[in-house]
């Protein structure tokens, strides 16, 4: 089902401060920095490995009352989730349900680069997983 690791998401307090390390120290230039109002976050995608490569996604909560802000306050900066790309997110969600995998979404939601759903960490040995179907015009972002 999954084709590749699309991105690894790291939650940060401030994207500009985080970029001092990822961009200025490691030399990974962000391709996209944008706000995603529906998720109440600002994100930066840092691509690695060319068009079929993976990305690091820096995630900065914008609303102090959001679930991501609470996550950040409770756990601090660090790994938030791993995102796997699938060809058909609807089929992937149906397959997870058929196998009784606990999911956080009843249906795929819009994401920064397509449509996605999340698998609860209790179903993936403590890791929050996102499965995404990348929109064709978003590939490589």
Q: Are 77 and 12 in contact (CB under 8 A)?
A: yes
Q: How far is CA 130 from CA 30, 54, 97, 109, 140, in A?
A: 21, 14, 15, 11, 18
DSSP secondary structure code for residue 113 in this structure? T
Domain residues for the domain of 10 are 4-138
Q: Containing H/E element for 8?
A: strand 4-11
CATH assignment at residue 66: 3.10.180.10
Q: Radius of gyration of the chain from Cα atoms?
A: 15
- Mean pLDDT per 10-residue section of the chain, whose length is 141 residues: 95 98 97 91 95 94 95 97 97 97 96 93 97 77 53
Q: pTM to 2 decimals?
A: 0.91
Model pLDDT, residue 60: 98
Q: Are 78 and 21 in contact (CB under 8 A)?
A: no
Query: How many separate domains does the chain show?
Result: 1
Model pLDDT, residue 50: 87
Model pLDDT, residue 140: 52
DSSP secondary structure code for residue 38 in this structure? G
């Amino acid at each position: 089902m999954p084709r590749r690791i699309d991105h690894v998401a790291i939650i940060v307090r401030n994207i500009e401060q985080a970029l001092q390390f990822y961009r200025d120290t490691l030399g990974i230039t962000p391709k996209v920095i944008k706000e995603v109002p529906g998720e109440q976050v600002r994100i930066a995608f840092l691509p690695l490995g060319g068009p079929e490569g993976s990305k690091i996604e820096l995630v900065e909560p914008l609303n102090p009352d959001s679930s991501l802000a609470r996550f950040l306050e409770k756990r601090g900066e660090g790994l938030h989730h791993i995102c796997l790309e699938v060809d058909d997110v609807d089929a992937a969600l149906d397959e997870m349900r058929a196998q009784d995998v606990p999911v956080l979404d009843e249906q795929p939601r819009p994401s920064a680069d397509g449509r996605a759903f999340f698998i609860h960490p209790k179903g993936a040995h403590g890791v929050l997983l996102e499965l995404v179907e990348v929109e064709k015009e978003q590939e490589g972002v």
